[in-house]
Each structure stands twice: as C-alpha cells, then as structure tokens.
Amino acid sequence: MLLEEKNVIVTGGASGIGLASVKRCLEEGASVVIADIEDSDGAAHAQKLDNQYSGRCLFKVCDVTNTAQVDKLFDDTVAELSSVDAVFNNAGIGGLCPSDDVSDDEYLRIIDINLNGVFRVARAALRVMYRQGSGSIVNCASILGVFGQSQTAAYTAAKGGVVNMTRTLGIEAAPKGVRVNAIGPGYIDTPLLEALDDDMLQGLIQLHPIGRLGRPEEIANAFLFLASDEASFVTGAHLLVDGGFTAGKS
C-alpha cells in the first residue's frame, strides 16, 4: 500500500476531488482527516468512512480563510495522530464574471480562498513537516494556472499564483526533507459543472483531446502518486492532469 501508516489531511475533502482523494488514501492504508467548512457533508462522510476503514477517518472543521482554524487543524491532527505526512491543499471555489463588472468583495473572496488559503495551509503544514524532517504537500492548481480564460480574472490570478508559489515552496522545503508539488486538473466531472447546459458541457468536452471530462478519481490518483514515496524525486512541479487540454489544438 502506497500510504500505509501515513497520516493525510485533505482540505475541501467533503466533496468532489477532495472526497475522491480521501477514499483513495484510505484504500492505500492512510489515516485521513477530512477538513472542510462546518456546513459541509464532511462529518457524515467521515463517520461512514471511519466505520468502513476501521477508525482511520475523521472530520475537522476548517475554513481556509481563517488562520486560527487552519493552525488548529494541524495542531489537533498532530495531537491525535502524531504526524502529518501528506496534505492535499485542495479547498477552492470557482467564479465567472466579466472583469469590468466583478466587485471588490467577490474578487478578494476568490483570491482569499484559492490563493491565500493555499498559503495558510501550506505554511501550517511546513511548520509541522520541518519538525518531522519529512512530508509532502500537494496544492490544487488548475489548467487556468498556465493560461487565461475570459471572465476568470480572479480565478486565473489565484491559480497562477498557486503554480509559482508551489515552485518557491518546493525550493525552500527541499533541504528540510519536504516536497511541495501542484496538480493542474482539466475540467472534472464534479457537482461544480451541474449548472452548465448541454451545449456548454459539450463545448467543454470538445476542448479535451481525450474526448471526455476528467473523473475525480483521476485527480485523486495523481495526488496519491505525489504524496507517496513513489514521487520521492519530484518537487516544485505542476503536474497537469487535463486530458490534453493544455497540449494544444489538433
């Protein structure tokens, strides 16, 4: 098992890519903390998975815009599990709005969750992992971290920041035994896309040379690789898992 006896935190772990990653880590032998906001389904999922995997899953309330909650998440995890071996820094939100119409509040909200929140979690993780002398942090970036798309100024700014932050953190952390990488998902078949009509959905599918949207489990598998010792020589990388989206047009 790739993560046997490892302790993993997944932010945004109550749904979509996060929940798929929680399940894959449990299958590979890890103990997993689902970290999500209070009104998520995290507690219910954790209870069910804890029963299924013999006491290896728990839920912690964490809003990544709240530094005190982020720090408490790591303090409590160390107190209960003794270490934090891997983190999937996955919590995030979307948002579409023309740049000339987006409000300050909405722009700053997207930046605070998708960029500042990633930093808050990474900082807390580094403090723990530096004391341990080991660990793996995986930040969830995006294909929109490497190219632009109309009506996504805040989102693309945040995800581009995550990509370059990952490089910097990877350089800083490497001498201390900690690896920091990012995943760049293409469009993934999650509840976030349920609001799209059929024409928009088909348009998105056609942008992926592989001919379909991604599945949450496929991003989870990428996280599993980067979190594990299989990726022991990988740090500062942005692994695109996008069905060929960013490779170009045929």
Residues marked active site are found at 155
Distance from chain centroid for Cα 167: 16
Q: Do 43 and 122 contact (CB within 8 A), yes or no?
A: no
d(CA 234, CA 223): 12
Looking at residue 44, its amino acid is: A
For the chain, give the longest Cα–Cα distance: 52
DSSP collapsed to 3 states, 19-41:
HHHHHHHHHCCCEEEEEECCCCC
| Assigned token pair, 82 | 């003794």
| DSSP code of residue 145 | G
